[in-house]
Amino acid sequence: MTATSVRASVKRAAPAAPAAGRRRSPYSSWFYLPAAIVYGVLFAIPTFASFFFSLTRWSIFDWKFIGVDNFVTFFQEPALVKGLTNTLIYAVVTSGLKVVLGMLLGILLTSQIVARGYLRSVVFFPVLVSTIGVGLTFTVLMNPEKGLINDALGTLGIAGPGWLTDPKFALLSVALVDVWKGVGLATLIYIAGIVSIPAEYLEAARVDGASAWEVFRRIILPLARPATVTVILLSLIGGLRSFDLIWAMTRGGPGFTSDVIASVIYKQYQAGFYGLSTAGNVVLFVVVTAIVLPLSRFLNRKEVEL
Amino acid sequence: MNARKNYLLSFLAIVVSAVVFLVPFGFILLTAVKDRQQASLLDFSWPHQFQFVQNFLAVVRARDYMLIIAFINSTILTVASVAGMVVLAAMTAFVLQRKQSRWNGLIHGLVLAGLIVPPAVVPTIWVLQRLGLFRTMPGLILVEIAFGLSFCVLLFRAFIATIPRELDEAAVIDGAGPLRLFFRVVFPLLRSVVVTVVVVQSVVVFNDFTNPLYFLPGDQNATVQLTLYNFSSQFTTQYNLLFMNILLITIPPLLMFLFFNRQIVAGMTSGAIKG
């Protein structure tokens, strides 16, 4: 890293021979070209086009400019507003739980316990399994009458709720399954973060007679901060964009009580309201960037000194 | 924490992990081999009779061997798009890391945007349609490459930073041009990170549901994730077949996990330490 920056400053200090340098440079800019074309045509252009088409009534073949009508609809229709608030709830709940559980599991799985390898594998494996498969499996397990979860709660004398059929619980149930599937990744990131903490710090703390809580509070928590930042940002981005799990489990139901922006986009697309669907995309874009960019600035600014 | 192992905590962790994580997979496994009647009870019980072969054949034969076609489609999609991502991202990352230019800031911004910005769905369909690539496998492959590039570029760039520039200089002195320098000298050194990228992205693309749903609709084009979704309505009363299907499409990621656990972990935690 230092070498690179030194070289950079050397280059900046000697701008006299850029032409000769460029001709001889073995790093040709056209290496960017293939990636730039694919990225530009299929990602950048659609993103920019979405700002325009969100202002139209659109049927792929022709469009009619209608100003901000789509956005007005989006913020007036109760079903669509619900999608917006649900997206925020879902993202905050999943990412909060992933941080807390991921950190606890990370500490547990770096401590001296038996069968650590087994535990790490079993916690991580769901990350790799198909989201739709997990969603359908838990839909069955959460069946209110016959499902395994309510059966188990029943034997304990608790009447389980209609996890996915009760409008109060549907979104949170899906969020819990999302955490079940994603906590392994958070755990793994925390394990990597905790393992990279120099052992001397922990030893020094032990010599000074720090309690387990103090070790956690004063050493692990601040020094695993990059891991926390990564987990928060990754799970927020994922949570805000989340579609497949919700679609597999509730399709936004019952009614539209568990709809999120991404499922609204799909529903409007299916119904042929391409302009409205694209407006949903723009809203999602604004929500994601307005939350993630400032947050990542804020979180990355406060570095701890080692 | 003392060096002595904490047996009580270990015991607790193993029991809880078994209930929370193993029971759902056990449920998939058991239901997949049950007969139709017992499967419809949706309980966690030992099968009365094992119908593994019978259920397997029923799922494979359903809808004119749709699952076989889907596995072929998914394989083509995964192999082609991951290969594309690796080559394109490695080339980009190489020049991005080596060459100082005023465009670097912009390119970094675009890479991060690729990770954060949700893809605009209908406009992408519009572009694909204009190019004649909507509802085609090449179209979907290019879409997967475009959406996956950013992650790969970041991994490659971090790794290329560890390769000494003196190597490039030596190759250039020996008369290597840019192409030869990259593909003959640098790319072979990227092997370990290429394995990581390939494994992680294969799992991601193989498990992708949303992009095939939007950009490659139609039964004859189904990928494995879509078969599940198609079957779930058809199999509402045939849970044994639904779970057999889930079981079958879980096998490829399971194999990846068994053989490439280390690389997957390396790839997925790459952001954790640097932040």
- Reading the block at residue B122, the tokens are 């209908």
Cα torsion A86, A88, A91, A95: sign:
negative
Residue of B1, B228, B272 lying closest to A227 (CB–CB) = B272
Task: Identify from A59, A70, A113 which residue to disrupt to test chain B contact, counting B C-beta atoms within 10 A and taking the largest count.
Answer: A113
Q: Which is more confident, A60 or A52?
A: A52
Q: What is the pLDDT of residues A277-305, one digit of tens each?
A: 999 999 999 999 999 999 988 888 765 54
Give the integer Cα–Cα distance in Å for A119 and B232.
Answer: 31
Give the integer Cα–Cα distance in Å for B158 and B150.
Answer: 13
Mean pLDDT computed over A43-72: 89
Tell me the ipTM for this assembly: 0.89
Interface contacts (A, B; CB < 8 Å): 280
The domains located in chain A, with CATH, are: 78-305 (1.10.3720.10)
Residue of B7, B145, B165 lying closest to A38 (CB–CB) = B145
pLDDT-derived band at A212, boundaries 50, 70, 90? confident
Q: Report the alpha-carbon angle A91-A95-A97, nearest 5.
A: 125
In terms of CA atoms, which chain A residue is nearest residue B138? Answer: A38
Cβ distance of B228 and A136 shorter than 8 Å: yes
Give the integer Cα–Cα distance in Å for A239 and A117.
Answer: 28
Q: Is the pLDDT of residue A269 over 70?
A: yes
3-state secondary structure (DSSP) of residue B27: helix
Question: Phi and psi of B265, rounded to 5°?
Answer: -60, -45
- Alpha carbon of A256: minimum distance to chain B alpha carbons (Å): 20
Percent of chain A clearing pLDDT 70 (strictly above): 91
The DSSP letter of residue A219 is: I
pLDDT-derived band at A144, boundaries 50, 70, 90? confident
Please write down the long-range contacts of B24-28, taking CB distance under 8 Å and 24 or more positions apart: B24/A134, B24/A137, B24/A138, B24/A141, B27/A137, B27/A140, B27/A141, B27/A148, B27/B243, B28/A133, B28/A137, B28/B243, B28/B246, B28/B247, B28/B250
Contacts with B176 from chain A: Cβ below 8 Å: 26
pLDDT-derived band at A24, boundaries 50, 70, 90? low
Q: What is the pLDDT of residues A243-254, one digit of tens each?
A: 999 999 998 878
Cβ distance of B127 and A11 shorter than 8 Å: no
Question: Phi and psi of A56, rounded to 5°?
Answer: -130, 160
Residue B206 is predicted with a pLDDT of 95
Residue A303 is predicted with a pLDDT of 57
Cβ distance of A226 and B256 shorter than 8 Å: no
Contact B43, A151 (CB under 8 A): yes
Q: What is the pLDDT of residues A214-228, one digit of tens each?
A: 888 888 998 888 889
Residue A151: how many CA atoms within 13 Å on its side-chain side?
Answer: 12
- Alpha carbon of A168: minimum distance to chain B alpha carbons (Å): 23
Cα torsion B102, B104, B108, B113: sign:
positive
Q: Is the pLDDT of residue B175 over 50?
A: yes
pLDDT-derived band at A60, boundaries 50, 70, 90? confident
Place of tokens 């790459």: B270
Contact A114, B5 (CB under 8 A): yes
Q: Is the pLDDT of residue A71 over 70?
A: yes
Cβ distance of B95 and A131 shorter than 8 Å: no
Mean pLDDT computed over A133-150: 90
3-state secondary structure (DSSP) of residue A57: strand
Residue B37 is predicted with a pLDDT of 82
Global confidence as pTM = 0.88
Per-chain mean pLDDT for chain B? 88
Percent of chain B clearing pLDDT 90 (strictly above): 57
Measured CA to CA in angstroms, residue B243 lies from A138, A198, A239, B74 at distances of 12, 46, 26, 19
pLDDT-derived band at B271, boundaries 50, 70, 90? low
- Alpha carbon of A135: minimum distance to chain B alpha carbons (Å): 10
Q: What is the pLDDT of residues B59-101, one digit of tens each?
A: 888 888 888 999 999 999 999 999 999 999 999 999 999 988 8
Per-chain mean pLDDT for chain A? 86
pLDDT-derived band at B35, boundaries 50, 70, 90? confident
Q: Which of B82, B22, B33 is nearest to B248 (CA)?
A: B33
Give the integer Cα–Cα distance in Å for B143 and B211.
Answer: 8
